[in-house]
Every structure is written in structure tokens, then in C-alpha cells.
Amino acid sequence: MTTAAPAGTRAAAPAPARPASPYRLSFGRVVRSEWIKLLTLRSTWWSLAVTVALSLAISLMMASAARDFGGGLSPVMTIVMPMQFTMLVAGILGAIAVTGEYSTGMIRSTFTAEPHRGAVLAAKAIVVGVVMALATALTYLVAILLTAPILGSAGIDWSDPAQSWTPLAAGVFAMAMFALIGVGFGFLIRNGAGAIAATVGVLFVLPIVTNMFVFAGESWQWLVDAGQYLPMSAAQMATTPAGDDVLQGIITLAAWPAALLLAAWVALRTRDA
């Protein structure tokens, strides 16, 4: 038996179904969000500005003093050698790009929006690496234009890739790898000071320590040999014009951030943000 609805009343209409949102958090959107976050930080632009200014200043000084090197300095080295100093800024930029989110707690929002933490790590690594590579390539271009009038006829021989394009490309690659080393330490340590200290230690301090044992005799030669597999030594091998160990340098450079990012991915999966 059914009960008739009172007169003058109308049955409530069913609520219309909400249309499905056309937006999905794809990996491309994660990359775009990381791109926005990195480029809207003042620390990013300060780091890039210091890198460019330091690199150009050293290149100009080396080009001006090129004749005093006795002809033993390849012209392309005036462009890539400042990397021995700018590598620290690259590594620190990579570290603070990660630890800045941990210090503000924004990393929790990031992982809430994208629960797949490996995707966040990959996106951040891609963005940091690309930004550093583009900044380095642009810096090299400006340095080449500025030093060409100074070097004159003793400038870069563009007809020989081993004396020109190969060292420059290796320099761009090395700077990107230095930044990714900072990213790896940032995710592993999650503290700004700690990540920066670890990055500076690997990039700058350890090469000095291993070089101190060059005169220590054969019993310490193993430590000197191990130093050849540090990132800075690998970068020197990769950027040496017409060098015999360019491939070894490139592989070693790629292995460092690969190992650190893999360890960071494991850590992200096994601990809270």
C-alpha cells in the first residue's frame, strides 16, 4: 500500500550528477608545478646570478692571462675551468630546491597532491637539471663571445670537436649532474645545512683530502686512485680537450646522482615526509 503525496507538494528532483573533472595530475603537470616552484624562488635566481657572474669573471681573467700560460692552455679551457668553483653553487641550488620545501612544510602538500613520491622526485630532478644545463649553456655562449676578441687568432678551434664542442657539452652535463647531486642529498638528509654540507663535502672537500696523499707513498695510492672517481675529478676528465678518459668521466658523473637519487627514492618510500 502506498501513501499519496500531500496535495500541493512536489517530489524532490534528484540532484544532478557532477560532471567529471577534465583535469588529471599527470606527470607533465607535476613537472610544470616543480618548474613554477623553482623559478619563483629568489634563491634560485640569486644562485644562477652568482654562477653566471663567477663563471664570466674567471673566463675573462683566464683569457687575458692566456699568453702567460706558455701556450699550454687550450682556449676552450678558459670557458669550462670556472666549473671548479661554480660547481658548488650548482650543488647548493639542487640541495635548497628540496630542503626549502621540507623547512616550510610544503613538501606535505606536494605529496598530498601527488602521492606517488617517485614522480615528485623525478620531476624535481628533471627541472633542476634542465634549469642548470640551460643556464650553463647560456653562460658558455656569453663567455665565448666575450673572450673571442681577447684570444684573437688563438681562440677556440671549432673545426675540431675534441677541442671545442665535446668539452663544452661535457661542461654543461657536469653542471647539471652537480645540481642533481644536491637534489639527492636534499631528499636523503631533508635538512638545508646538512644537505649543503654533504654536497660541499663530496664536490670540494674530498678531492682536496685525496690529493693530500699524492706524496704519501705507494701504501696510500689506493686513496689517490679512489679520488679519480669523485665528481670533480670525473668532470675534469670529461672536459679535458682531446682527453683519453672522456667516456669514463661522463659515466662517473652520471653514476653519482643516479646512486643518490635511487637511495632517495628508497628513503621516500620507507619514511614519512
Rounded CA separation 131/119 (Å): 18
Contact 133, 176 (CB under 8 A): yes
Query: How crowded is residue 24: how many other Cβ atoms within 10 Å of its Cβ?
Result: 8
Query: How crowded is residue 35: how many other Cβ atoms within 10 Å of its Cβ?
Result: 17
- Give long-range contacts, CB 8 A cutoff, 24+ apart: 216-222: none
Return the closest-CA partner of residue 209 out of 225, 231, 224: 224
Higher per-residue confidence, 226 vs 244:
226
Tell whether the model's pLDDT for residue 224 goes beyond 60. Answer: yes
Indicate the pLDDT class of residue 239, thresholds 50, 70 and 90.
very high
Contact 235, 255 (CB under 8 A): no
Tell whether the model's pLDDT for residue 217 goes beyond 80. Answer: no
116: helix, coil or strand?
coil
Indicate the pLDDT class of residue 155, thresholds 50, 70 and 90.
confident
Contact 79, 147 (CB under 8 A): yes
Helices within the chain (DSSP H only): 27-39, 42-64, 77-80, 83-104, 106-113, 117-151, 165-189, 192-200, 206-211, 221-227, 231-239, 246-270
Rounded CA separation 4/243 (Å): 94
Residue 219, pLDDT score: 84
Q: State the Rg of the chain over Cα.
A: 26
Q: What are the tens digits of pLDDT across the range 183-203?
A: 999 999 999 999 999 999 999
Helix axes 83-104, 117-151, angle to 10 degrees: 150
pTM score of the predicted model: 0.88
Q: What are the tens digits of pLDDT across the range 55-80?
A: 999 999 999 887 777 667 889 999 99
Tell whether the model's pLDDT for residue 171 goes beyond 90. Answer: yes
Return the closest-CA partner of residue 201 out of 232, 235, 238, 239: 232
Tell whether the model's pLDDT for residue 265 goes beyond 90. Answer: yes
**Average pLDDT, rounded, for the chain:** 88
Return the closest-CA partner of residue 166 out of 255, 80, 253: 80
Rounded CA separation 273/270 (Å): 10
Rounded CA separation 195/96 (Å): 8
Rounded CA separation 192/93 (Å): 11
Half-sphere exposure of 270 (CA within 13 A, CB side): 7
Residue 65, pLDDT score: 85
